[in-house]
Amino acid sequence: MEYLVSMTTRVPDGTPEQVAADTVAAEGRRVTELAGQGDLTRVWRLPDGRTLGLYRAADAAGLAAILHTLPLYPWMSIEITPLSPHPSDPGISRP
């Protein structure tokens, strides 16, 4: 199943600059790993600063497990939208 995940990240006040930088760098490495595993297929930055990610997981629990591995997860507000195939999707192969 696919999920559109909207993430807003806020570094807590008082977080040392180096800790924030190291956490952001670790996030980049983890995103690359998730993409390599096929768990994350796309990621976008919105004009308002939010990040959108298109994730694949067997179910909501699987998605939660994936999201919990993100180093920035403790600093994120997340909205999840489960996506279902549409019969008119041009990306679907038809006989």
Query: pLDDT tens across 61-70, in order?
Result: 999 999 999 9
pTM over 0.95: no
Query: pLDDT tens across 28-67, in order?
Result: 999 999 999 999 999 999 999 999 999 999 999 999 999 9
Cβ burial of 67 (10 Å; 0-12, 13-18, 19+) is buried
Q: What is the DSSP string of 25-60?
A: HHHHHHHHHHHHHTSEEEEEE-TTS-EEEEEE-SSH
